[in-house]
Amino acid sequence: MFDLLFQLSIVFLIIMFTKNIMDMKKYNEESSLVELKEFKIEQNKRIMDPLLIDFKFEKEFNLEKMYLDNPLKYFLNSNRVIRYSDFAFFENINIYNQPELIGELNINTICNDIFDKFKNQFSFNTIYSGSIFQGINNIELQKNRNNILVLGCLQNNCDVYLYNPKHEEYLTSEKRKKWGIKVELKKDKLLYIPTNWFYTIETENGCVLLHIRSDTYFTSIYNEYRN
C-alpha cells in the first residue's frame, strides 16, 4: 500500500510540474496594457495582460539623509561597487534590483501588502528588492522569468517599455521600441509584467522602485535555469 501511494504521489508531482511549466509558456498575442483604478485582482488565476494599478504609498523617503547616515554602505551593481556617497559625485547613477534596499527603505510591510493581492496557494521563492535611480539611466532588456513580477514606483517616475514575447526576434534591433508598449510609471503606481514578457527601464530624473518576484513550488527550479 505504501509503495502504491508513493508511486501515485510521484505521478501527481510529475503531472503538476509539467502542467505548470507548460502553462507558463502560454501568452496572449493580442495583449494590451490594462489600467486599474482599484486594486482588485482575482486570486489563483494567471494574469496574461500587463496591469497598471493605482496604489497609494503612504510613505515619504529622505534619500539624502539615508546617504549621509551611512555613506560607505555599498552594493554590487552589475560588477561595479556603488556606495551611497557616490550619489554626491555622479550625476547619472543607480543601485538596481537589490534585496538589501528593502530594509534600507523600510518597505517590507508595503511589499507584503502588495504581494498578498497576487500570491496563490503555491507561491514560493518570493523575493523583494529595490532600486534607486539618479539622473539618466537605461536598464538593458530583461525577461520576466517568474510567475509574478510587480514594479512599484515609490518616488518620482520612470518609463518602462514592455514587449510581448511574440516580438522576441525583433528585440535585438535598435528600433525595438516600435514593438513596445510605453508605460509611464509614476509615483503611487504598480506595474504587473506577465511571465515571459520583456522590458526595459529608463529614467531622466530620480526614481525609487520596488520589485516583487515570485515563483511556485512547481516552477521555481525551472525558472532559475531556463532561457
What's 171's DSSP letter? T
pLDDT band at 118 (very low <50, low <70, confident <90, very high): very high
pLDDT band at 162 (very low <50, low <70, confident <90, very high): very high
Q: What is the CATH number of the domain that holds 221?
A: 2.60.120.650
Mean pLDDT, rounded, for 97-118: 97
**What nine digits make up the cell of 33?**
496594457
In 3D space, the residue among 144, 137, 147 whose CA is nearest the CA of residue 209 turns out to be: 137
Count of structural domains within the chain: 1
Residue 43 CA to residue 160 CA, distance in Å, equals 25
Residue 200 CA to residue 137 CA, distance in Å, equals 11
Give residue 140's domain range: 2-225
For residue 27, is pLDDT > 90?
Answer: no
pTM: 0.94
CA–CA distances in Å: residue 151 to residues 3, 71, 86, 115, 204? 46, 27, 25, 11, 18
Q: What pLDDT does residue 20 have?
A: 83
